[in-house]
Amino acid sequence: MLDRLTEYFFPKQVSTFAGDIDNLFFFIFYSSVALFFIVVFGMIYLALKYRHKKGEELELTSSKDHSNLLESLFFIIPLILVSITFVWGIRSYLKMVIVPDNAIEIKVTGQSWFWTFDYPDGGTTLNELVVPSNQPIKLVLSSKDVLHSFFIPVMRSKMDALPNRYNVMWFDATQEGVYDIFCTEYCGTGHSQMGAKVIVMKPAQYEEWANELGSDDDSVPLDELGAKLYTKKACNTCHTLDGSALVGPSYLQTSQMWGQERVFDDGTSTVIDENYIRSSILEPQTQIVAGYQGVMPTYQGLLNDRELDALIAFLKSLNEDSQI
Ligand SMILES: [Cu+2]
């Protein structure tokens, strides 16, 4: 029955310690429910039973005022419950903080408003954490700007990502699948979109995937690669393709303004061309489009030249007039 309830209230249990954590939660929850009913119904019953009746003399002391047995039970029962919670809690906690020696280490970096993952054999992914199943994974977390928090509900695992220091968390995934990751520290306008996925693969499949990572595919045409990168590199958290402004100007609007003047918040302006797009991506802070905030992160080091070309080609492909 407990399993059914867990399924009903909680996301799937996918890490080795998830079951333990849920059971402890339910132990605390049901002890609290039981105590609540015992105390509240006891109180109501006694208040009714010993209420003042008309014409009755007030008896200020009586043998009912004290019972050694009850007094002892009132502290022994909570003491037992609290001790169980403590021992169970600290054992589960230690399981969660002591990282096994054979863990694969992946660097996780949060920034407004996406996650970057750096793998041990080189290669980076954005908003997609790929891991093998049945293998401890150690995550070393930090942030490039404000506080973020990295939460994988199915692993029952969560840790803050702070600027200027490293935090560690780990998990061992027991089932293959694609699961949600959330940022659970309010970090600005894009916070609600700061989601990512953890993709748990069979070890052999992961091996294959890791080998391919980093080798970029030259056979894909530039604008197609750009369309892929546009979502893969999280541009779509702040830009849209339908002309509506989000945190930044719509990619469609920029493409329709190809060859026209872009005005910046300091009053200067420039013509929208390949060089402008390139510097917008690599040095977004140098020219802030008027009416927007300078919150775009730099992609310096996150995109190679072909990928930059691809993003520019994709932008141009959105507007037929720019196909020169
Ligand atoms: Cu965040």
Angle at 108 between CA 104 and CA 109, to 5 degrees: 160
Question: How long is the chain?
Answer: 324
Ligand 1 centroid from CA 271, angstroms = 34
State whether residue 270 is helix, strand or coil: strand
Q: Cβ neighbours of residue 5 under 8 Å, at least 6 residues apart? A: 26
Residues with Cβ within 8 Å of 26's Cβ and at least 6 positions away in sequence, in order, are 2, 5, 6
CA 188 to ligand 1 center in whole angstroms? 7
Q: How far is the CA of 204 from the centre of ligand 1 (A)?
A: 32
Cα 88 to chain center, whole Å? 26
* DSSP-assigned letters across all residues of 158-215: EEEE-BTS-EEEEEEB-S-EEEEEEE-S--STTGGG--EEEEEE-HHHHHHHHHHTT-
E strand residue ranges, 240-288? 261-263, 269-271
Residue 52: both structure tokens together: 């003042």
Query: β-strands 114-118, 104-111: how paired?
Result: antiparallel
Helix, strand, coil % over all residues of the chain, rounded to 5? 40, 20, 35
Segment 171-221, tens digit of pLDDT: 999 999 999 999 999 998 889 889 999 999 999 999 888 887 765 566 677
Determine the Cα–Cα distance for residues 149 and 158; give it in Å rounded to an integer.
7
- Residue 264 CA to residue 289 CA, distance in Å, equals 4
**The two three-digit tokens of residue 96, written as one number:** 């969660």
Structure token digits, residue 80: 């037992």
- Phi and psi, residue 195, nearest 5°: -100, 155
Q: What percent of the chain is predicted at pLDDT more than 90? A: 55
Angstrom distance (rounded) from CA 183 to CA 191: 7
CATH class of 222-322: mainly alpha
The pLDDT assigned to 322 comes to: 46
Question: How many beta carbons lie within 10 A of that of residue 182, not counting itself?
Answer: 16
Decide if 104-212 and 222-322 have a common fold.
Answer: no
Going by C-alpha positions, the residue among 166, 167, 161, 163 that lies closest to residue 181 is 161
pTM metric for this prediction? 0.67
- The pLDDT of residue 70: 85
- Within 85-166, strands assigned E span 104-111, 114-118, 124-126, 128-132, 136-143, 148-152, 157-161
Ligand 1 mean position, distance from CA 239 (Å): 17
Domain locations in the chain as residue ranges: 2-50+66-97, 104-212, 222-322
- Output the tens digit of pLDDT for each of the chain's 324 residues: 566 777 788 888 999 999 999 999 999 999 999 999 999 999 999 899 888 888 777 766 666 677 889 889 989 999 999 999 999 999 999 999 999 989 999 999 999 889 999 988 778 888 999 999 999 999 999 999 899 999 999 999 999 999 988 999 999 999 999 999 999 999 988 898 899 999 999 999 998 888 877 655 666 778 888 998 898 888 998 999 998 988 899 999 999 998 899 999 999 999 898 889 999 999 999 999 999 998 898 998 888 888 888 899 899 888 865 444
Q: Could you say which architecture CATH assigns to the domain 104-212?
A: Sandwich (2.60)
In the reported structure, the alpha carbon of residue 25 is separated from the centroid of ligand 1 by a whole-number distance in angstroms of 26
Query: What's the angle, vertex CA 118, arms to CA 188 and CA 229, rounded to 5?
Result: 70
pLDDT of residue 3: 67
The rounded Å distance from CA 293 to ligand 1 centre is: 17
Residues at Cβ < 5 Å from ligand 1 ion = 148, 183, 187, 194
CATH code of 2-50+66-97, in short, is 1.10.287
Distance separating alpha carbons of residues 240 and 251, to the nearest angstrom: 6
**How far apart are the CA of 113 and the centre of ligand 1, in A?**
6
Cα–Cα nearest to 127, from 194, 206, 82:
194
pLDDT for position 301:
82
